[in-house]
Structure 1
Amino acid sequence: MTSLRHNPSAKPVAIDAYLDAARDCILDVGWRRTTLTEVARRAGVSRMTIYRSWPDMPQLLSDLMTREGTTIVTTSVPVAPLIDRIIGAVRAIRDNELFVRIVELDPELLLPYLLNRRGRSQDLIIELIEGAVREGQAEGTVRPGNPTAMARALVLAAHGFVISGHTMVDDEVSEDDLYDEARLLISRVLAP
């Protein structure tokens, strides 16, 4: 069996409905208690219909998180300066109910993407930042350097704000204070 990304015969509308059902399940009971059988039940299809697209929950979760991440990144702040797009994406991910639920109930699901490998959403983010860095370099608004390395460094910095930002908020430092610092950090990395 292959995941959605390797199953060209799957109908996009149906796939979205299945991913919506999986999202609803995870929001209700968390990833550990969500099964492909429950996803099929909520989607109103047979288990085999779901199994044709995903052999297991990790593959389904991977496709769900890719869809969620792609939506966030492409809609958070689509037309704005690069710094605003990065901060907008960080805020949108931090506020995303699926991401929040996973952090609350199943934070270990994030570890592979922080310790072992990049996910498709991370690659998309890197690609978008890299393109914006190249454009900025051509215009003279971004310093010279390897755009790929710069984009990856910015994603690494953003990880901290996305994953751990809430741990730095208290009576002395607000979330907005942290975003102001993130904006300063990004602007200094990019400054010509």
Structure 2
Amino acid sequence: MTSTRHNAYLDAARESILEVGLKRTTLTDVARRAGVSRMTIYRAWPDMQTLLADLMTREWAGLATADPAPEGDAPTPEQIAGEVVAAIRALRSNPLFRRVLDLDVELLLPYLFDRRGRSQQVIVAALAARITQGQEAGRVRQGDPEALARTVVLASHGLALSVQTMTEPDSPDASGLSETGLVATFADLLAGGLAP
């Protein structure tokens, strides 16, 4: 669903979700916002869940892979950790992600407990490719790049979804118990785990 037309429909769905939340957004609302008939939307997506899956894939996988490294650039563990943290920060500040967390968090549960979504697959593939580059240059520990990437994504879920549960609200930003401090600790742990 990457055509310009489909992107316009996904944009309309995004606008509606940001305005009224997922539960109150319908395919009819999306059609109205996009200026097309309901049947046009129904031909592309049979229901809101399918449309939402495409929207999440476009939005969140795009954030996580937004700044690809130059070809041939063999990353260090610290660079990979920095890229992962940057992707988590981008996701946490994304308005659609924030809206889903605030209003419709149960939507994310299948992707945490039952199955991988397309967004997760794209992220794992991109991360495995970076790990492979680092391994080939001797900068990243050996091991199955797919397994390492999946493990990093699993560890990242907690930081992306619930870092606020482990912070101390009154901690100064430089404190180890602030969000900034916990993110820095996560980056250090990740870099250490990927070191040869």
TM-score, normalised relative to structure 2: 0.89
Q: How many angstroms does 1:169 deviate by?
A: 2.1
Residue from 98, 104, 107 that aligns with 1:106 = 104
Instruction: Look up the equivalent residue of 2:163 and give its one-letter code.
Output: G
2:80 maps to what in 1? Answer: 82
- Corresponding position: 1:48 with 2:39: yes
Partners of 1:141 and 1:191 within 8 A in 2: yes
- Please give the per-residue CA displacement for 1:129-177, whole angstroms capped at 9, x wherever unaligned: 1111111111111111111111100000000100111222222421110
SS at match of 1:152: helix
Aligned to 1:15: 6
* Alignment match, 2:195: 191
Give the Cα–Cα distance (whole angstroms) in 1 for the partners of residues 160 and 193 of structure 2: 18
Paired position in structure 2 for 1:179? 183
Is the CA contact (8 Å cut-off) linking 2:61 and 2:120 kept in structure 1? no
Q: Which residue identity is paired with 2:32?
A: R
What is the SS of the residue equivalent to 1:51?
Answer: helix
TM-score by length of 1: 0.91
Whole-Å separation in 2 of the counterparts to 1:89 and 1:16: 22
Query: Which stretches in structure 1 are left out of the alignment for 5+ residues?
Result: 5-10
| Distance (Å, rounded) in 2 between the aligned partners of 1:74 and 1:125 | 7
- Normalized per residue, the structure richer in helix is 1
Letter in 1 for 2:46: P
Q: What is the aligned partner in structure 2 of residue 27 from structure 1? A: 18
Matched-pair contact (CA < 8 Å) for 1:78–1:85: no
- In structure 1, distance between residues paired with 2:68 and 2:90: 12
Take 2:182 and 2:90, find their aligned partners in 1: how far apart are those partners? 15
Q: Distance in 1 between matches of 2:55 and 2:130?
A: 26
- Counterparts of 2:9 and 2:55 in 1: how far apart (Å)? 9
Secondary structure (helix, strand or coil) at the match of 1:132 reads helix
Return the letter of the residue paired with 2:8.
Answer: A
Alpha-carbon displacement from aligned partner over 1:59-78 (angstroms, at most 9, x marks no partner):
00000000001220122x43
Question: Which residue identity lines up with residue 149 of structure 2 in the other structure?
Answer: A
Aligned to 1:7: none
Partner of residue 8, structure 1: none
CA distance in 2, matches of 1:143, 1:74: 22
Equivalent pairs counted in the alignment come to 182
Partner secondary structure for residue 65 of structure 2: helix
Matched ranges for 1:60-139 at <5 A: 60-75=51-66, 77-79=67-69, 81-139=79-137
CA distance in 2, matches of 1:42, 1:167: 37
Match of 1:154 in 2: 152
1:116: how far off?
Answer: 0.5
Partners of 1:129 and 1:78 in 2: CA distance? 10
